[in-house]
Structure 1
Amino acid sequence: MTTSLVTPGTEIGTVGEHQAGEGTTTIENRIVATTTGYIRIEDGNIIVDASKSIVNIEIGDTVLCVFEKLQEKGGEARILAVEGKNGDVLPHQLHGHFHVTRIVDRFLHTVADAVRRRDIARAVVTEIEPVVRLDFRERDDCGVLHAICPSCGDTLEAHVNGDWNVACPSCGYEGYRALADNFAAGWADLDQGASALNLSGKRWGRDAEQLFAHGSSGRATYIAADVREDGRERSYFRFEGQGQGGGRGRKSAPGCRLFVGGLPREVDTEQLRELFGKHGDMTDCVVMTDDSGASRGFGFVTYTEKTQADAAIKALDGHRLHGRRIGVRDADNKQKRTKGPEKGLKLYVGNLPFDADEKAITSFFGNQATINEIAIATDKGGKPKGFAFVFINEKDKGDDVVKALNGKELNGRRIKVDISQAGGRKKPQDGKSSRERKAIAEEKGNKKRRR
């Protein structure tokens, strides 16, 4: 055997001198390697022995995996190894998908109620096409093998306390995992293995149901990404929504807690804290997320004093953030919000150039009307969508403004101007809906046919 290491695509011989063997192919008169490995010539055949064997996952294989993506009703785990097979997993089989019903024999509100990101588990492969699908409840030896505490990062131990079957020896965290028999190298007190602690088929107790009822924010958060195990002082993970001073559970004074809506999806808690921190001292700030960690588009900010909260509302309600207007209001005020002052007659302005700003639109209107407000429509990324709404002070001049400006050009484009109707639809002149008019037309047609 030669010591020459070749990679896929390397020309290693010509047809006539040798025959193409395993790990090679022929292109015209050339013999080319199709895998990374070492050249070997045997009985006139030129062969490339792979430096690492490749594992092809099959239905029924048992795999070890780590949870990476968790959603409400499913998730994805990265396959680390196939038991009984040595080698690297093919790239298109590197990740396995699973459904919430295939984790454990108990009703789960969401995947995160039984497994967490970075938990290591064993599973059985049930499908390989079009994607690899995993089953964690197929056998008692399938399920979570190793888990770490979402609060401090220490290794969880099997411990029974009502519905909870794991606990942290360091911080006292208790939770539930879909355990495999040999979780944490087995549980000595049970002959049948740790899977017996899953309480398969049983209903959740009152404490668990009360916790689940709070939704994702009521459950423990995902694991900290940088748990330190190198001897340095460990910085314990703070729950999202927990006050900066550690005052979780403390109720804020009336008027100090604000609801922030209309947030762009890319805005996180730190960006929200930076924006609202300019208006006073905060005890809490959080952007609410779903179980996958994606922003839900709203959050909460709590100030130490009501005057600071009022100042934030005045300064930031309607503020543009990444092209979107955010809404800020008192989160504790249960009364129905009153409408703001009348903005005037609302006009639709369409077919706008994408570079048209408020100054250009104001110039376009000229002295036709007094403009109170201009709202340029944008997408989630803040890019203009080519239309806007203009509120004018003179409610009785709407038809005159439309007549004067509709069809007029702005930067080479004919602009469409019309009076905006509530709900985006114009009322039919006869007062009847489209369904009524259609029914009347069909009835008239039937009468003509009967004649």
Structure 2
Amino acid sequence: MTTSLVTPGTEIGTVGEHQAGEGTTTVDNRIIATTTGYMRIDDGHIIVDASKSIVNIEIGDTVLCQFEKLQEKGGEARILAVEGKQGDVLPHQLQGHFHVTRIVDRFLHTVADAVRRRDVARAVVTEVSPVVRLDFRERDDCGVLHAICPSCGNTLEAHVNGDWNVACPSCRYEGYRALADNFGSGWAELEQGASTLNLSGKRWGKEAEQLFAKGSSGRATYIAADVREDGRERTYFRFEGQGQGGGRGRKAAPGCRLFVGGLPREIDTEKLRELFGKHGDMTDCIVMTDDSGASRGFGFVTYTDKAHADAAIKELDGHRLHGRRIGVRDADNKEKRSKGPAKGLKLYVGNLPFDADEKAITAFFGDKATITEIVIATDKGGKPKGFAFVFIDEKDKGEDVVKALNGQELNGRRLKVDISQAGGKKKGQGGKSARELKAIAEEKRKKQRR
């Protein structure tokens, strides 16, 4: 008898020489190990004694999982265990995918209407290739088994109040989850499973529909923090008006809630709070993020008084932050502000050094023109893109300014200065300026003469 350590997928023999024993399988006359352990040959049989068994998930298996990634119409859950099977899940089967229509028998605008990250749930496996797919509405015992309060971190309990079927015993949070029958310890008052509280097949009430229709800006207006058992901070999304004694349904007074757009990616909630906190007392402040935690480039700030909000708009709308101009406006005002035409003649300045700021550009123009505004183009991260637009008062002297400055050096680079063409790219011109088109035409004529 011989022994050696093998892992799943290892070819350990061929049919004919030996017979497949425990811990092995046959594929095309090859004997393959199906578990990690020690191989031994005993009486013509190849056997793998598992040091720790490996679970291969199959269609129809019931799994316990924890939601990790939620998108609008789908998501991923980490599979924690397979009911009725002992051992570790294969690495390529650790993530289960699901669609919004397979969560509960109700219309959901997004996945987050019925489940949240870190919720623990039971599901049925419907596919295993190319990825594992999960179904939470297959049976009444499938769905959320355990959920935590997004406001304070306490364990949620089954509770009926209109469309809401869970509530926090410590704070005023109420919400909706696609519950499994034995959510928590079941719902004794009904003498049946908690899945009854999902109100399957019914339409949402007016209050829930209004909240869901607002999308992420309505659902999550600020982040609350609690402390993990190991001391690390944890953050949760919260519904508008919940927590801090506000209670569900309480909304900010008209004109107190501001939308902040054009935020550099490095600006988080704390930095936004620091910037806007100088202009008055705030009740909410948040920078919106995606599922990976990266900033989406906008956020919301709510003040206790409209006068504070107006002061913030006056001081910070158009404020340059890390090279980008941010926009601040009343979040409840649906009318888009119409931007008036820029004052003066618009010049394009290209091949700009990346370290050139407004002061350097102003010095470059010197007394050639009176500058009214400088806009340095930046990427989403706030880094300069190497060109800018400069507005000057002398509308009738644009050609003279271009003639004087085009080709001049700034910090070792020859700048391209030209009159910017209104309307951006034009059909057949590729957005090129008149000067560029003239140069291209001249080049074509030279080639033809050759």
Task: Please give the TM-score of this superposition, normalised by the length of structure 2.
Answer: 0.73
Alpha-carbon shift at residue 106 of structure 1 (Å): 1.2
**Whole-angstrom distance in 1 between the partners of 2:243 and 2:59:** 49
- The answer as to 2:369 corresponding to 1:369 is yes
2:151–2:242 CA contact under 8 A, matched in 1: no
In the other structure, the counterpart of 1:130 is 130
Alignment of 1:17-416 (within 5 A): 37=37, 49-171=49-171, 173-188=173-188, 193-219=193-219, 226=226, 239=238, 242=241, 246-247=245-246, 249=250, 251-252=252-253, 257-288=257-288, 295-304=295-304, 308-330=308-330, 337=337, 342-410=342-410, 413-416=413-416
Alpha-carbon shift at residue 175 of structure 1 (Å): 2.9
Q: Among all aligned residue pairs of Structure 1 and Structure 2, give the percentage whose two residues are the same amino acid.
A: 84
Matched pairs, number? 405
1:150-191 CA-to-partner distances (Å, cap 9, x unmatched) read 333333333444433334444454332222233234445667
**Whole-angstrom distance in 2 between the partners of 1:406 and 1:79:** 63
**Whole-angstrom distance in 1 between the partners of 2:242 and 2:222:** 17
* Aligned partner letter, 1:345: L
The secondary structure found in structure 1 opposite 2:52 is coil
2:65–2:122 CA contact under 8 A, matched in 1: yes
Residues 236 and 355 (structure 1 numbering): CA distance in 2 closer, same or farther, change over 3 Å? closer
Which ranges in structure 2 are unaligned for 5 or more consecutive residues? 8-17, 25-32, 430-450
Residues 195 and 419 (structure 1 numbering): CA distance in 2 closer, same or farther, change over 3 Å? same
**Whole-angstrom distance in 1 between the partners of 2:179 and 2:308:** 48
**Whole-angstrom distance in 2 between the partners of 1:131 and 1:93:** 7
The secondary structure found in structure 2 opposite 1:177 is coil
Alpha-carbon shift at residue 83 of structure 1 (Å): 1.8
Alpha-carbon shift at residue 289 of structure 1 (Å): 5.3
The secondary structure found in structure 2 opposite 1:208 is helix
**Whole-angstrom distance in 2 between the partners of 1:120 and 1:416:** 59
Alpha-carbon shift at residue 366 of structure 1 (Å): 4.4
Alpha-carbon shift at residue 346 of structure 1 (Å): 0.8
1:76–1:97 CA contact under 8 A, matched in 2: yes
**Whole-angstrom distance in 2 between the partners of 1:137 and 1:357:** 58
Alpha-carbon shift at residue 212 of structure 1 (Å): 2.4
**Whole-angstrom distance in 2 between the partners of 1:109 and 1:184:** 26
1:372–1:391 CA contact under 8 A, matched in 2: yes
Alpha-carbon shift at residue 7 of structure 1 (Å): 9.1
The secondary structure found in structure 2 opposite 1:212 is helix
**Whole-angstrom distance in 1 between the partners of 2:74 and 2:237:** 26
Residues 338 and 154 (structure 1 numbering): CA distance in 2 closer, same or farther, change over 3 Å? closer
1:41-81 CA-to-partner distances (Å, cap 9, x unmatched) read 76799987543222222222221101112222111111001
Alpha-carbon shift at residue 304 of structure 1 (Å): 5.0
**Whole-angstrom distance in 2 between the partners of 1:155 and 1:219:** 20
**Whole-angstrom distance in 1 between the partners of 2:73 and 2:59:** 23
* Aligned partner letter, 2:85: K
Aligned Cα RMSD in Å?
4.3
Residues 93 and 34 (structure 1 numbering): CA distance in 2 closer, same or farther, change over 3 Å? closer
**Whole-angstrom distance in 1 between the partners of 2:222 and 2:374:** 43
1:350-399 CA-to-partner distances (Å, cap 9, x unmatched) read 23343444344345434432333322211111222121111122111112
Structure 1 range deviating more: 367-376 or 56-65 = 367-376
In the other structure, the counterpart of 2:28 is none
1:241–1:285 CA contact under 8 A, matched in 2: no
* Aligned partner letter, 1:110: T
Residues 330 and 207 (structure 1 numbering): CA distance in 2 closer, same or farther, change over 3 Å? closer
* Aligned partner letter, 1:101: T
2:124–2:138 CA contact under 8 A, matched in 1: yes
Alpha-carbon shift at residue 224 of structure 1 (Å): 6.5
1:120-152 CA-to-partner distances (Å, cap 9, x unmatched) read 111122222332211111222221222233333
Residues 276 and 211 (structure 1 numbering): CA distance in 2 closer, same or farther, change over 3 Å? closer
2:171–2:243 CA contact under 8 A, matched in 1: no
* Aligned partner letter, 1:312: A
The secondary structure found in structure 1 opposite 2:184 is helix
Structure 1 range deviating more: 389-398 or 95-104 = 389-398
Structure 1 range deviating more: 88-97 or 167-176 = 167-176
**Whole-angstrom distance in 2 between the partners of 1:107 and 1:332:** 27
**Whole-angstrom distance in 1 between the partners of 2:301 and 2:418:** 40
**Whole-angstrom distance in 1 between the partners of 2:242 and 2:161:** 28
2:97–2:133 CA contact under 8 A, matched in 1: yes
**Whole-angstrom distance in 1 between the partners of 2:95 and 2:428:** 55
Residues 172 and 312 (structure 1 numbering): CA distance in 2 closer, same or farther, change over 3 Å? closer
The secondary structure found in structure 2 opposite 1:183 is coil
Residues 302 and 157 (structure 1 numbering): CA distance in 2 closer, same or farther, change over 3 Å? closer
**Whole-angstrom distance in 2 between the partners of 1:321 and 1:149:** 35
1:274-326 CA-to-partner distances (Å, cap 9, x unmatched) read 11223333344333457886644333334455665455344423222233211
Residues 400 and 238 (structure 1 numbering): CA distance in 2 closer, same or farther, change over 3 Å? closer
**Whole-angstrom distance in 2 between the partners of 1:215 and 1:319:** 27
Which ranges in structure 1 are unaligned for 5 or more consecutive residues? 9-18, 25-32, 430-451
1:79–1:94 CA contact under 8 A, matched in 2: yes
